[in-house]
Amino acid sequence: MCNENIPKITRIKFNISFKFLCLDIKFVIKSYLAAFYDEWCKKLVIIIAKYYLAMGNLKAAITGVAKYVPETLLTNADLEKIVDTSDEWITSRTGIKQRHIFKEEGKATSDMATRMVENLLKKTNTSADEIDLLICATITPDMTFPDTANTICSKVGISNAFAFDINAACSGFLFALTTGAKFVESGSHKKVVVIGVDFMSSIIDYTDRTTCVIFGDGGGAVLLEPNEEYGIEDSIFKGDGDGRQYLHMKAGGSLKRPTLATIEDKEHFVFQDGRPVFKAAVKGMTTTFNSLLERNEIGHDDVDWLVPHQANMRIINSVADMLDFPKEKVMVNIQNYGNTTAGTLPLCLADYESQLKKGDKLVLTAFGGGFTWGSTLLTWAYDGDE
């Protein structure tokens, strides 16, 4: 009714004006929303960039180390009574004087590992509930399954972590260390326990003097935590399955299942063909050491400590000689423990901890059955004598 009283031309002008006003309002709203959206996107991009830059700078640092070796000793003199050997023969060929043997009835690899982890948590003032990942490197698990790592968690009281084993023989701890570091570097995990431990006397034939003089029981564990300055810098790992013929256990797996015949033929013990293993070990550790330093543009003089797998004193000396690396900067404790397989590297770190200083450059290198081998460069995160 009111519209009828308004001239037609006026109504047309009004409608046109109203439409333009609506368009102006829509344009203003769209412009505001676009500006808001652009600003919000910019802020989001900055937040994401800062996050990834922080993650890129994040390293996994060793913030504590602990060890465990059994009380029972098996000396060279003891072995002279078991096999045709002598202290002079063993010492000159291996550098070993004694090894620790786990003799506790009804106990297994997880029990040794439990003690070292408990020591580690106490030493670093860390509660079991704070651990969010545990990795155990071993070739002597309690059982084929379940994995020993979960058993360790159960015995220690670690209930907020997931856990798994790594089997890479003597390179196991090195591989596990880098694996654990990746979880820390990603920002997804804050406290990771890495263990290297083996119950070698459970798979050694003490009538075979080529192996029984070499191996012992024990190992160590480290705690990895985030750090922007110190920690694991780089790793180079290699493998060659053709080497399996020279170092292995003949029976017990799916390829050759346990039978009365395999037991009678002593096929559930370590078999090693020493000469090809020796050559491959020296070559593998020296080449990955040199490649690692070259890739990170540092020289031998920049490395404060070389931490080699304690397989055999001749191998350790050959590696140091080929690298022209000062013997006084090479960690050696094989004389006290023998070859504890996955346990040798953390045992070295534990024994030399008091000599390590914040900022020290370490290269850990190992070689094991498989063949597996590699080297890891890391910067030590704390003064060990504190």
Q: Which residues are catalytic?
A: 170, 309, 339
Name residue, tokens 């900067």.
Answer: 329
Collapse the DSSP code of 372 into the 3-class scheme (helix H, G, I; strand E, B; otherwise coil) and give the result.
strand
| Long-range CB contact pairs, 290-297, < 8 A, 24+ | 290/323, 291/236, 291/375, 292/234, 292/235, 292/236, 292/363, 292/375, 292/376, 292/377, 293/363, 293/377, 295/234, 295/236, 296/233, 296/234, 296/377
Residue 355 carries which side chain, given as an amino acid letter?
A: Q
CA pair distance 201, 186, nearest whole angstrom: 38
**CB proximity list for 72: less than 8 A, separation 6 or greater:** 100, 101, 102, 103
CA pair distance 349, 346, nearest whole angstrom: 5
Phi, psi of 227, rounded to the nearest 5 degrees: -155, 140
Collapse the DSSP code of 42 into the 3-class scheme (helix H, G, I; strand E, B; otherwise coil) and give the result.
helix
Which residue, 66, 175, 177, 140, is CA-closest to 341? 140
Would you state the torsion angle of the CA atoms of residues 367, 371, 377, 380, taken in this order, to the nearest 10 degrees? -50
Alpha helices in the chain (DSSP H): 2-5, 8-57, 76-80, 87-94, 109-123, 148-156, 172-185, 209-212, 260-264, 274-295, 313-323, 334-337, 344-352
Question: Are the C-beta atoms of 371 and 221 separated by less than 8 Å?
Answer: no
CA pair distance 64, 221, nearest whole angstrom: 8
